[in-house]
Amino acid sequence: MNDKLMDCFVNPTKCKLILEIFSNNRTTAKQLGEKFQDISKATLYRYLNKMLEDDIIKVVEEHKIRGTVEKVYAMKLDIADDVKTIINENSGEEYAQLFTQYMMVFLKEFYEYAKREEKDILKDGSGFSVCPVYASVDEITEASKKIASILEPLRNNSNGEGRKMHSIGLIITPPKEDEEQ
């Protein structure tokens, strides 16, 4: 996977932007700004320009609006294709690197939260858990789909109305080796 793309996944703000562009196929800076009101315009444009420079995103349309040009952004790199390649090549090393980057995002968010003066772990809605299960691949796939369907309406919420950005991740560990039945 592209190192510059991996760097985006480690940065929570860039990660939000990349995932939003990827999810919508195409979007404008205005739409991103409306969705992520916690990101300043200067930071938003700086990151968009950096991702353009790094060939992660591309401009697919330009519209003249009252003397300015509105750009429509889309992914230049195919994230899904990169992940498929890692899986199809069964590359353990790249798969572990991808997982490490994924975990780094969460570690950074938890570390920054822990350093805050004002925090209330329970009230802020932070937490993590583990649930060991015996399941077939089909059962795991079905459970993952159900979890995704629960989260999808939350993903479309906007900032405000008492809402704050949380990251929810799902990790399914590989099966244990040589486990007794």
Asked if the model's pLDDT at residue 48 lies above 90, the reply is yes
**Which range marks the domain in which residue 43 is found?**
3-75
Q: What is the structure's pLDDT at 83?
A: 76
Dihedrals phi, psi of 142, to nearest 5 degrees: -65, -40
Give the closest residue to 59 by CA, choosing from 5, 21, 15.
21
Q: What is the structure's pLDDT at 7?
A: 75
**Of residues 125 and 180, which shows the higher confidence score?**
125
Look at residue 159 and tell me if it is in a domain. no
- Range ranked top by mean pLDDT from 96-100, 142-146, 163-167: 142-146
Residue type, position 39, single letter: I
Supply 91's token pair.
Answer: 């590359």
Count: domains in the chain? 1
Q: Is pLDDT of 99 > 60?
A: yes
**155 band by pLDDT with thresholds 50, 70 and 90:** confident
Instruction: Please write the tens of the pLDDT for every residue from 69-82.
Output: 899 999 887 667 77
pLDDT, the chain, mean: 84
DSSP state of 123: T
* Domain annotation covers residue 60: yes
3-state SS class at 160: strand
Instruction: Tell whether 101 is covered by a domain.
Output: no
Over residues 1-17, the mean pLDDT reads 76
Q: Residue 142: CB partners within 8 Å, gap ≥ 6? A: none
pLDDT greater than 60 at residue 128: yes
pLDDT band at 180 (very low <50, low <70, confident <90, very high): low
Residue 99: which of 112, 89, 111, 87 has the closest Cα? 87
Is pLDDT of 52 > 80?
Answer: yes
Judge whether 104 lies within some domain.
no
Place of tokens 């938890």: 110
| Helices and strands counted in the chain (H then E) | 7, 3
Q: How far is CA 112 from the centre of its chain?
A: 17
- Report pTM: 0.56
Query: Residue 87: is its pLDDT beyond 60?
Result: yes
3-state secondary structure (DSSP) of residue 116: coil
Question: Counting beta carbons within 10 angstroms of the beta carbon of residue 4, is it exposed (0 to 12), middle (13 to 18) or buried (19 or more)?
Answer: middle
pLDDT score of 141: 93
- Residue 37 inside a domain? The answer is yes
Confidence band (pLDDT; 50, 70, 90) for 117?
A: very high
- Residue 44: give its domain's CATH number: 1.10.10.10
**Any domain includes 163:** no
User: Which has more pLDDT, 32 or 15?
Assistant: 32
Higher-confidence residue: 179 or 32?
A: 32
